[in-house]
Amino acid sequence: MSPLSPDTLTPRPERPRPERARPETARPTDDGGSPEAAPVLALHDVRVTDRAGDREIVHGVTFTLTPGKAVGIVGESGSGKTLTCRAVLGILPPHFEVSGGRVDLMGEDTATKTPRQWTDLRGSTIGAVFQDPASYLNPAITVGAQIAEVLRVKRGLSRRAARRRAVELLAAVRLRDPGRVHGQYVHELSGGMLQRVLIAAAVAVEPRALIADEATTALDVTVQAEILDLLADLRERTGLALVVVSHDLAVVAHLCDEVLVMRRGEVVEQGETRSVLHHPRHPYTRLLVAEHEQYGLDRFRHPSGGVMTTPAVKAAREAEPGAVLEVTGLDVHHGRGRARRRVLRDVTLGIAPGEIVGLIGETGSGKSTLARAVLGLVPPSAGSIRVAGEDVGAYGPRQWRALRRRGVIQYVFQDPLRSLDPDLTIEDSLVEPLLIQGVRRKEAAPRVRSFLDRVRLTPDLLERLPAELSGGQRQRVAVARALVTGPRLVVLDEPVSALDSANRVQVLEILKELRASGVALLLISHDLGSVAGTADRVAVLHRGELVETGAARDIVNHPVHPYTRLLLGSAPTLRGRPAGRAEREALRALPAD
């Protein structure tokens, strides 16, 4: 093996692999594997059964993966996509088993493998990375040592050689200052960096296939794009075959040659990526596509794209001229003394009645601080906040309490389960804001019922507890609870992030309809793509400053600030990424100054 420069992994052809029996398959061609190449991984009607409940959970998955190719599995939680991956890796949870079909790894049936053979296969033939990378690394050992460990155990490298190779691998997954990262612990690194570390550990002994199970979920959009770029890069350079699993069709779309759409353990649609995207046949696939085309960035690629201002909305706006929310020159500082730092700087933002403004920013950009300032939870250090004409920025605790009791501003959290009292029935939760205002229970109950209809919930849910509802129903209850007091402004923090596609579409649709009532909505998200299709205007927050504000359509089609361009270039869409990898990298360098 020749010495490697830190930014390359060994291209596959340079390394003769003795375990490969057929010489004609030993060299993948430059375009990433010829069609006749022997499959790395082949699933034939794989079924997984829960022995405890004697239920079949996965009802037959079939696909073939050749070197340098990528297969995508799309489906919401509970669709069986993760169980399928675990079956392939031989790590099904206790009392789950492969009850039918077969999994072939490098042409050999894995059902016959002993535990010891499995140990040999994992890491060197097939690897995997998962969602929440921090939890998949040992918190007590440096991350570098965990990569070196794999190299020492599986390659027999000396301590010193393993360390050197681990640093090279960290450089190969494009981590800045790999030498430093090598000696760091999990809690010292960000999610994106940890996912790179996990990928480095997974490809350390150059497996033939890598499973990426929701590997970019919960990461910032720009970081997600970087990780996807890295996977694409590994695939091109080393012929690594990929199984990409995601709940988001768009994530899978630009990376994979073939897509499987799973629902409730069933593969409802399977085929070449482009044909699935352009001619979805199953209603569920159509829903996944529609989510992007009607609520995401793809909406703006149509000539008539963007949010329609219906006559009702127009009327609501004209009925009450003037902004509901007016933030002017807002500065917010956190901490005191030497630790004091500015989180928001000179933020100016207004929302008109019946308007939805999308506030976009990544982790640490200050978007939650802005929401908290508007809600009176953090005091502004400069500037003014006016809500419905009242200068709330100058309010003291007593005035805030009075304002909150009137329910002028309401808030909807990301996690609907934790924001609803688990011991209160849905009716009790919905009535509570009215009871606080002094409305008698008898009068409050019918008012609550009228709101149920607006969020498309049936009255029979009123007697249930939050735990008995689905995630989408809970979030709609949370929206209804925010509305019962007739607020002027509702702040929604990532309201659809925790929801699956069907519920996401439903909640976004409800929000759009709300505009007709004249309520102003501030929709906070880290993902421009998920809210752009619902918002009238978009404000982009970057490092505490509003770098760009404008009509959603203009921002999406003509972004000016480099950070906005990077956000747009990173957001996964069905029609391919607007920006190429090189362009994204140039943009990444820019906003960092």
Partner 1 sequence: MTTTAPPVTPVRRRVAVAGVRHAAGRVLAVLARSAAVFAPVFLVATFVTFALRSLSGLSPARVQLGEEATPEAIERVEAQWGLDRPFLTQYGDWFTSVLHGDLGTSWVNGADISTLIGLGLGVSLSVATFALIIGVFAGFLLGTVAALRRTTVIDRTITGFVTVISVMPAFVVGIVLVSVLAVGLGLFPSAGYVPAEQGAGAWLAHITLPALALSFDVVADVARQLRSSLVGAYQENYVTGAVVRGLSPRRIFFTHVLRNALGPTLATLGQKFPALVGASVVTEWIFGLQGFGRFANDSAQAGDVPAVQGVLVVSIALVVSFNLVVNLVLAHVTPASRRGV
Q: Which stretches of the chain bind partner 1, using CB under 8 A?
A: 5-7, 89, 91, 115-116, 119-124, 127-128, 130, 132, 135-141, 149-150, 153-154, 163-164, 167-168, 171, 174, 176, 178-180, 182-183, 185-187, 198, 201-202, 204-205, 226, 585, 588
Nearer to partner 1, 43 or 203 (CB): 203
* DSSP state letter for 254: T
We find the least distance from the C-beta atom of residue 412 to partner 1, in angstroms, to be 30
Reading the block at residue 110, the tokens are: 């894995």
**How distant is the alpha carbon of residue 434 from its chain centre?**
35
Nearer to partner 1, 200 or 344 (CB): 200
Residue at 519: amino acid letter: V
Nearer to partner 1, 130 or 411 (CB): 130
Reduced to 3 states, what is the DSSP secondary structure of residue 266?
A: strand
Place of tokens 């002027």: 488
We find the least distance from the C-beta atom of residue 199 to partner 1, in angstroms, to be 12
Nearer to partner 1, 77 or 437 (CB): 77
Nearer to partner 1, 553 or 584 (CB): 584
Instruction: With residue 565 as reference, give the H or E element that holds it.
Output: helix 562-570
* DSSP string of 66-82, one letter each residue: -TT-EEEEE--TTSSHH
Q: At what angle do helices 426-436 and 471-483 cross, to 10 degrees?
A: 20
Report whether 139 contacts 147 (CB < 8 A): no
Closest listed residue to residue 518, CA positions, set 309, 317, 308, 311? 317
Nearer to partner 1, 175 or 375 (CB): 175
We find the least distance from the C-beta atom of residue 121 to partner 1, in angstroms, to be 7
Instruction: Please give the Cα distance from 222 to 376 (Å, whole number).
Output: 30
Nearer to partner 1, 171 or 385 (CB): 171
Reading the block at residue 353, the tokens are: 């009645």
Write phi, then psi, for 331 (nearest 5 degrees). Answer: -120, 135
- Give the chain's radius of gyration (CA, Å): 26
Nearer to partner 1, 204 or 378 (CB): 204
Nearer to partner 1, 124 or 410 (CB): 124
We find the least distance from the C-beta atom of residue 138 to partner 1, in angstroms, to be 5
Instruction: With residue 145 as reference, give the H or E element that holds it.
Output: helix 143-155
We find the least distance from the C-beta atom of residue 580 to partner 1, in angstroms, to be 15
We find the least distance from the C-beta atom of residue 345 to partner 1, in angstroms, to be 26
Q: Beta 126-130 vs 209-213: how paired, if at all?
A: parallel
Closest listed residue to residue 480, CA positions, set 505, 499, 452, 517? 452
Nearer to partner 1, 150 or 431 (CB): 150
The C-alpha angle 508, 513, 516, rounded to 5 degrees, equals 145
We find the least distance from the C-beta atom of residue 150 to partner 1, in angstroms, to be 5
We find the least distance from the C-beta atom of residue 91 to partner 1, in angstroms, to be 6
We find the least distance from the C-beta atom of residue 382 to partner 1, in angstroms, to be 33
Instruction: Please give the Cα distance from 356 to 306 (Å, whole number).
Output: 12
Residue at 473: amino acid letter: Q
We find the least distance from the C-beta atom of residue 569 to partner 1, in angstroms, to be 14
3-state SS of 479-511 is HHHHHCCCCCEEEEECCCCCCCHHHHHHHHHHH
